[in-house]
Amino acid sequence: MQQKVTMKQTSKTQASSLIDSVLGLNPRLAVFDCDGTLWSGDAGEGFFDWELKRGVVSYEIVRWARARYVEYREGKVSEDAMCGEMVTLHQGLKEVDVLALAREFFKENFAGRIFSEMRELIKRLQATGCDVWAVSSTNQWVIREAMAYVGISPEKILAASAEVNGGTITGNLTRMPSGPGKPKAILEVIGEVPDAAFGNSRWDADMLTLARYPVAVNPNPDLEKLAREKRWTIYWPAEVTAE
C-alpha cells in the first residue's frame, strides 16, 4: 500500500515539475502532437478500423483499404500515403455525418485515455495567453471532436485534411502534417517557430527539432533514443508509468 502512495506522489511531483518548467519559459506558442502524446493509443488507426467494421464506406473500399493497410504494415506503403488515404477514403460522404461518427468513436474509445497532466498543461498555458495548437496526421474529423475533451479550439488544429465542397468530402487532400509536414504546416499556417513542442514518435522529430523547447512525451523507442541523444526533456505520463 505504501508503495502505491509513493508512486502516486512521485507522478504528481513529476507532472508538476514538467508543467512548471514549461510555464517558466513564458511560451507564446506551443504545439502538441495528439496520438500517443495527449492520450494513449492511436485514434487515427482506431477510427479507420472502427468505421471499416461498421461499413461506413462501400464493400469495395473496405476490401481495398484492408489490403492497403497490410501493405503499409509491411513497409510497402509510406506513412504519408497511408495517413492521407485514411482521409480521402471518405470521398463522397457528408462531412457532418463523418463528424458525428468521429464524435461517437472518440467518446467511446479514447476520451478516457487522455493524459490528465497534458490536459492540465494545456489549460495552464492558455491561461497565460499562450497560443496552443494541435498538430496531427490523424484525420481532421477525429482530432476536431477530440479537442472538445482537451480544450483546444477547432481553429487551432493542423490535421490531415481533405477539401470539403458543399458539405461533401472530396478526394482532394489539402494537408498532411506528418514528419517534415508538421513544421511545414506550422510555419505556413501559424508563421512562427514554436516555443515548446510535444510529441511521442519519430514522425514528430522534425516538429520537436524546430521548437525552442522540445518534450518527448510517452516516446516510442526510436524517439526516446533521439531525445536522449539530443538531451531533450522526456516525460512519461502517470497513466503510462502506472501500467
pLDDT tens profile 189-224: 999 999 999 999 999 999 999 999 999 999 999 999
- What's the pLDDT at 33? 98
Write the DSSP assignment of 127-172 as a string of letters: HTT-EEEEEEEEEHHHHHHHHHHHT--GGGEEEEEEEEETTEEEEE
- What's the pLDDT at 206? 97
What element of type H or E holds 182? Answer: helix 181-185
- What's the pLDDT at 243? 56
What is the torsional sign of CA 226, 230, 235, 236?
Answer: positive
Contact assessment for residue 34 and residue 137, using Cβ atoms and an 8 Å cutoff: no
The DSSP secondary-structure symbol of 55 reads T
Q: Catalogue all structural domains in the chain, each as residue range(s) with its CATH number.
A: 2-241 (3.40.50.1000)
Who contacts 133 (Cβ-Cβ below 8 Å, separation ≥6)?
29, 30, 31, 32, 152, 156, 157, 158, 186, 190
- What's the pLDDT at 16? 86
Contacts 24+ apart (CB under 8 A), 165-168: 167/94, 167/95, 167/96, 168/92, 168/93, 168/94, 168/95
- DSSP strand pairing (196-199 vs 168-175): unpaired
Bridge partners of 168, per DSSP, are: 94, 165
- What's the pLDDT at 13? 81
The strand order across the sheet containing 233-235 reads: 168-175, 157-165, 131-139, 29-32, 196-199, 213-217, 233-235
What element of type H or E holds 31? Answer: strand 29-32
- What's the pLDDT at 109? 97
- What's the pLDDT at 11? 65
| Ranges of residues in the chain whose predicted pLDDT is under 70 | 1-11, 241-243
